[in-house]
């Protein structure tokens, strides 16, 4: 070997060794004072991409930051990078965030991609996350849908996009007791659940992307006689689904057909038309008759539910507050939140 | 003779989706196994068939469209409109929706 080439190579090796030694010293220093289990914990996740959750971790109340956080997780998933979800700094967390996090983390679990995480330092947030059944649901997977009576917070999922109408039975019994202290039928609840499950079944997948599940979080607030529901369909989202319709489908070219009715041509404008049933009328020439997404707003208009929120792709709708806006970040799926309280319409229990 | 079907009693308190592969108690299953045989009897007897929707947890639109739109596709819109009566005291709005599913039914 040429002498100068060898000299150059040796120098390069020496530089590398020095850098490596420096890094090792730095690592050792950062681990000083930690217990063995803490050191093992850090070493276990050293190759993982650490993603920090927002301080206010709520899909409904802090949508932009939460979608941004979910996007980071999705990016890691797309390049098959292992992730560590850092919840340490989370001060507020709610079930809307937990169900979305669960749906996206399930992608890692189902593809055998490494993931880890920690609990918030804030006690209330940590307790809420623990009581949500998040970890149990994440590792149990979605093979079987089981309802447990007496639990304040429950997470449900169903693989193969199945519509599980029978879930409404135990749900209504408990919702009735939480809100009214007796059994009641909530026709609006059954309608919205069926339409959402059906929507996942028919529209969530364009090219077999990701999981084909729906996820539902049910949370009883006994002090305020209220039950909150968060539904996530981690599919392609409403607009991506609409755009992908082929010729012959009644929704083919829907965006073109409503163009002149839009001021800016944005998705939140289309979402408003869709929820009001106007998109259906313009595209098909017929009333929507309770079908699909506009059927959810009809349930709200009949006062069978309250506080309806829909988030899909880059569109946010606080339907009850008539507040529609464009999101900076894109959410790959459809999220729907609503709640039921003692002001909502019910039917006397007539189930035999 | 009165021809009557109460869905909650003869089929399910939790009617499901459109097709059997989407979940249990689908509209297609109800139409094929229960509704059509009974409807044929009614037509032959030139009688009305009363379908009672009350006593269930509620209905999805896919179930209703598949049942009633599907019935109109199997027979004709006029035959269906002229031979069925719907009872829906718990959700009166369903009656108008069902009439439209029948009228909109395509073969």
Say if residue A137 is in the same domain as residue A148.
no
φ, ψ at A312 (rounded to 5°)? -150, 135
- Determine the length of chain B: 107
Say if residue A311 is in the same domain as residue A342.
yes
Say if residue A135 is in the same domain as residue A153.
no
* Domain span at B8: 3-104
| pLDDT at A72 (0 to 100) | 95
φ, ψ at A292 (rounded to 5°)? 60, -140
Q: Please give the C-alpha separations between residue A154 and each of A194, A264, B90, in angstroms, as whole numbers.
A: 18, 40, 29
**Single residue among A141, A172, A191 that ends a domain in this structure:** A141
Residue of A nearest to B18 (CA): A198
List pLDDT tens digits, range A145-181.
Answer: 667 776 777 777 766 568 889 999 999 999 999 999 9
Q: Please give the C-alpha separations between residue A42 and each of A84, A229, A257, A307, in angstroms, as whole numbers.
A: 11, 36, 55, 42
Say if residue A152 is in the same domain as residue A132.
no
**Single residue among A115, A141, A167 that ends a domain in this structure:** A141
Say if residue A132 is in the same domain as residue A280.
no
Number of domains forming the structure of chain A: 2
Nearest CB to B14; choose among A165, A186, A201: A165
Number of domains forming the structure of chain B: 1
Inside any domain, residue A269: yes
SS3 of A74-128: HHHHHCCCCEEEECCCCCEECHHHHHHHHHHHHHHHHCCCCEEECCCCCHHHHHH
Residue of A nearest to B17 (CA): A163
Inside any domain, residue A9: no
Cα dihedral B63/B68/B72/B78 (nearest 10): -160
Q: Does B25 lie at the interface with A, CB-CB under 8 angstroms? A: yes
* Contact list, A166 vs chain B (CB under 8 Å): 14, 16, 24-25
Contact B8 A351 (CB under 8 A): yes
* Contact list, B13 vs chain A (CB under 8 Å): 169, 351-352
- Measure the CA–CA gap between B52 and B49, rounded to whole angstroms: 10
* Contact list, B9 vs chain A (CB under 8 Å): 352
Inside any domain, residue A16: no
φ, ψ at A280 (rounded to 5°)? -60, -45
Which tokens belong to A167? 């879930």
Inside any domain, residue A174: yes
Q: What is the CATH number of the domain that holds A309?
A: 3.30.565.10
Say if residue A207 is in the same domain as residue A304.
yes
List pLDDT tens digits, range A215-247.
Answer: 889 999 989 999 999 999 877 777 777 677 777
Say if residue A128 is in the same domain as residue A173.
no
List pLDDT tens digits, range A250-307.
Answer: 667 766 776 666 666 788 888 888 888 877 777 777 777 778 788 899 999 999 999 9
Kindly provide the ipTM of the predicted complex, given to two decimals.
0.96
Which tokens belong to A208? 């077999």
Say if residue A123 is in the same domain as residue A228.
no
A to B CB pairs, distance under 8 Å: 100
Tell which of A159, A160, A165 to mutate to test the B interface (max B CBs under 10 Å). A165
Q: Are A336 and A235 in contact (CB under 8 A)?
A: no
Say if residue A166 is in the same domain as residue A306.
yes
**Single residue among A141, A162, A189 that ends a domain in this structure:** A141
Radius of gyration of chain A (CA): 24
Tell me the nearest-neighbour CA distance from A58 into chain B, angstroms.
Answer: 29
Scanning B58-97 for CB atoms below 8 A from A yields 58-63, 65, 90-91, 93, 97
Could you identify the residue written with the tokens 């997404």?
Answer: A293
Nearest CB to A286; choose among B8, B13, B104: B104
Helix (H) / strand (E) containing B87:
strand B84-87
- Measure the CA–CA gap between A157 and A215, rounded to whole angstroms: 4
Q: Are A200 and A231 in contact (CB under 8 A)?
A: no
Could you identify the residue written with the tokens 């599919």?
Answer: A235
Say if residue A148 is in the same domain as residue A105.
no
Stretch among A59-63, A249-253, A334-338, B88-92 having the lowest mean pLDDT: A249-253
What is the distance of C-alpha A339 from the center of its chain? 17
* Domain span at A270: 143-352
Residue of B nearest to A202 (CA): B22
Scanning A258-287 for CB atoms below 8 A from B yields 286-287
Spell out, as residue ranges, where chain B has pLDDT lower than 70: 107
In the structure, what pLDDT confidence band is assigned to residue A16 with cuts at 50, 70 and 90?
confident
Nearest CB to A201; choose among B9, B17, B61: B17
Per the model's pLDDT, the better-predicted residue between A133 and A305 turns out to be A305
- C-alpha neighbours within 13 Å on the C-beta side of residue A252: 5
* Contact list, A352 vs chain B (CB under 8 Å): 8-9, 13, 55
Q: Are B16 and A201 in contact (CB under 8 A)?
A: no
| pLDDT at A317 (0 to 100) | 94
Q: What is the CATH number of the domain that holds A109?
A: 3.30.750
Q: Does A22 lie at the interface with B, CB-CB under 8 angstroms? A: no
Q: Does A163 lie at the interface with B, CB-CB under 8 angstroms? A: yes
Which tokens belong to B26? 């689908």
| pLDDT at B40 (0 to 100) | 96
Inside any domain, residue A12: no
Say if residue A232 is in the same domain as residue A347.
yes
């Amino acid at each position: 070997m040429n002498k100068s080439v060898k000299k150059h190579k040796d120098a390069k090796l020496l530089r590398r060794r020095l850098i490596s030694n420096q890094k090792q010293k730095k690592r050792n220093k950062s681990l000083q004072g930690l217990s063995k289990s803490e050191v093992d914990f850090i070493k276990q996740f050293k190759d993982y991409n650490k993603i920090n959750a927002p301080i206010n971790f709520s899909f409904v109340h802090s949508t932009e930051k939460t979608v941004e956080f979910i996007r980071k997780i999705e990016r890691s998933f797309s390049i098959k990078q292992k992730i560590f979800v850092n919840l340490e700094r989370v001060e507020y967390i709610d079930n809307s965030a937990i169900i979305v996090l669960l749906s996206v983390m399930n992608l890692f679990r189902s593809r055998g991609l490494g993931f880890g995480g920690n609990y918030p330092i804030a006690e209330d947030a940590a307790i809420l996350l623990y009581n949500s059944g998040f970890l149990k649901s994440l590792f149990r997977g979605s093979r079987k849908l089981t309802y447990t009576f007496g639990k304040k917070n429950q997470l449900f999922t169903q693989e193969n996009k199945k519509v599980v109408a029978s879930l409404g039975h135990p749900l209504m019994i408990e919702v009735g007791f939480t809100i009214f202290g007796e059994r009641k039928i909530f026709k609006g609840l059954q309608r919205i659940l069926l339409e959402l499950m059906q929507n996942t079944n028919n529209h969530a997948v364009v090219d077999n992307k990701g999981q084909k599940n729906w996820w539902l979080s049910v949370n009883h607030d006994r002090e305020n006689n209220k039950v909150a529901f968060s539904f996530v369909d981690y599919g392609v989202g409403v607009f991506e689904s609409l755009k992908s319709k082929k010729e012959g489908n009644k929704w083919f070219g829907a965006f073109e057909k409503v163009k002149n009715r839009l001021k800016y041509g944005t998705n939140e404008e289309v979402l408003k038309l869709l929820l009001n049933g106007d998109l259906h009328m313009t595209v098909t020439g017929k009333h929507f008759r309770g079908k699909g997404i506009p059927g959810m707003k009809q349930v709200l208009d009949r006062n069978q539910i309250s506080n309806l929120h829909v988030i899909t792709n880059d569109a946010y709708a606080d339907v009850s507050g008539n507040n529609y806006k464009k999101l900076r970040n894109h959410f790959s799926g459809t999220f729907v939140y609503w709640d039921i309280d003692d002001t909502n319409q019910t039917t006397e229990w007539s189930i035999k | 003779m009165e021809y009557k079907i109460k869905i909650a009693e003869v089929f399910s308190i939790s009617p499901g989706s459109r097709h059997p592969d989407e979940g249990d108690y689908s509209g297609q299953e109800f139409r094929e196994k229960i509704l059509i045989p009974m409807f044929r009897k009614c037509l032959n007897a030139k009688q009305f068939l009363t379908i009672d929707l009350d006593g269930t947890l509620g209905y999805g639109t896919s179930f209703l469209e598949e049942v009633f739109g599907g019935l109109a596709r199997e027979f004709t819109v006029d035959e269906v409109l002229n031979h069925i009566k719907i009872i829906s005291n718990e959700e009166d709005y369903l009656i108008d929706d069902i009439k439209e599913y029948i009228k909109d039914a395509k073969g």
